[in-house]
Amino acid sequence: VFVTGFFAALFFAKIFMIIPLLMEDLYRIFHKLTSLFAPQIAKPEEKGGANLVSRKTFISQVSAGIGLLTFSGLGYGIVKGAHDYKIHRKDVSLKNLPASFKGLKIGHLSDIHSGSFWDKKAVERGVAMLMQEKPDIIFFTGDLVNSLSDEMNESYIEIFSRVKAPMGVFSILGNHDYGDYHQWPDRDIMGIGNHAHSNKSHMSPMQLANLEQLIQIHKRLGWDLLMNENRILERGTDKIALIGVENYGAKGRFARYGVLSEAYAGTEQMPVKILLSHDPSHWEAQVLKKYPDINLTFSGHTHGAQFGIETAGFKWSPIKYMYKQWAGLYQNGEQYIYVNRGFGYLGYPGRLGIRPEIGIVTLV
């Protein structure tokens, strides 16, 4: 993991170092072309070789500084940022919320990506932070692993089996959980994307076995995995619906296993409906258009790009240019979506500016 992180930091440092050097080259090319068409303009060296050398030196120093800053920042993001968990709290007011559910405290985890972990004790600390909040119910919105079920090994099963709540822990699958990004020996195609079938008919026997093993891991964790189905939650004499849909990606080539109509069936008369859907693009693609009575959606997937700026009054990440809803709470009329920034990390084994999240959402 550290080798991967080192080379990732080195790669991006070199990319950013090139920028001022490229600008200098473009300037010199422009000046050369100009001098050809306007000979009366003095060439740079005629205006003082010392100044030209000075500018070259300055540009080189700026380039080196940018590279060092980038490399140091990404290194810090691995050593410190990867497990610098932050609790994000939001209150959500839902129309027609039954009295018994007022004040319901929801814990929200997403994008664990256990195959990327490199600090077990830090992960234990993150789980302990969630449990110290004493949520009434916990939702996990997908991507337990990167591709293979055995990435959730016995030690991490033991840690995440501590995630418990009085009303239960409910989970769904994310795009990485299906094994679509792994080259299975008995399958010729990798990365099915939007052409995936909800009935899994495109999957090879080995891929199906991997998925079944992951489903069993959810059971071992004590989590109720919802695969295009729903549960009726009861508190006191009141009831609300919890709907769990499989991954449905409306952007990029992310697979569409989710069948919301199937998951929704039977909840029509419930006063409040909460949806778990891994990919937030699903919200605008289907939920807002066809299901105006789904009050609140919980998603993940974006990781907040694991890079950005987030302060009390401002947040930015490059992921915003792909996902309109990418971190935190969003509202459209009387419908809400909460997008978790993710508990783990993928690819770059760290985070810079966008900290790993433990979400706490309270219904009021």
Angle at 140 between CA 183 and CA 165, to 5 degrees: 140
What pLDDT score does 113 carry? 98
Beta bridge partners of 336: 296, 331
Q: What is the pLDDT of residues 254-276, one digit of tens each?
A: 989 999 999 999 999 999 999 99
- Burial of 12 per CB tally in 10 Å (0-12, 13-18, 19+): middle
Q: Region 314-321: what's the mean pLDDT?
A: 96
> Looking at residues 238-267, what average pLDDT do you find?
95
User: In this predicted structure, what is the pLDDT of residue 281?
Assistant: 98
More confident residue, 8 or 89: 89
Q: Which percentage of the chain shows pLDDT scores above 70?
A: 82
User: Is 132 exposed, middle or buried (CB count within 10 Å of its CB: 0-12, 13-18, 19+)?
Assistant: exposed
Residue-level pLDDT at 76: 77
Q: What secondary structure does DSSP assign to 209-272, as a single string?
A: HHHHHHHHHHHHHT-EE-SSEEEEEEETTEEEEEEE---B--STT--B---HHHHHTT-TT-S-
Neighbour-count burial of 35, counting CB atoms closer than 10 A to its CB (0-12 exposed, 13-18 middle, 19+ buried):
middle
Summarised one tens digit per residue, pLDDT across range 97-132 is 999 999 999 999 999 999 999 999 999 999 999 999
Output the pLDDT for position 83.
Answer: 96
Q: What is the pLDDT, as a whole number, of residue 34? A: 78
Q: Give the Å distances, CA to CA, from 144 to 36, 95, 114, 187, 272.
A: 62, 32, 6, 23, 27
139 pairs with which residues across the strands?
108, 170
Predicted pLDDT of residue 30 = 77
Q: What is the pTM of this model?
A: 0.86
**Which pLDDT tens digit goes with each residue over 321-338?**
999 999 999 999 999 999
Residue in this structure with the two tokens 């610098």, named with its chain if needed: 84
| Mean pLDDT score of the chain | 89
Q: 3-class DSSP state for residue 337?
A: strand
Cα distance between residue 113 and residue 156, in whole Å: 11
Question: Which residues lie across from 225 on neighbouring strands?
Answer: 171
Are 343 and 109 in contact by the 8 Å Cβ rule? The answer is yes
The pLDDT tens digits for 17-52 are 677 667 767 767 877 777 777 655 555 555 555 555
CA distances from 17 to 8, 22, 66, 73, 306 (A): 14, 9, 6, 14, 21
What number is the average pLDDT over the span 74-87? 88
Are 228 and 258 a contacting pair, CB within 8 Å? yes
Q: Tens of pLDDT along 45-74?
A: 555 555 555 666 777 766 667 666 665 666
In the chain the first and final C-alpha atoms are separated, in Å, by 42
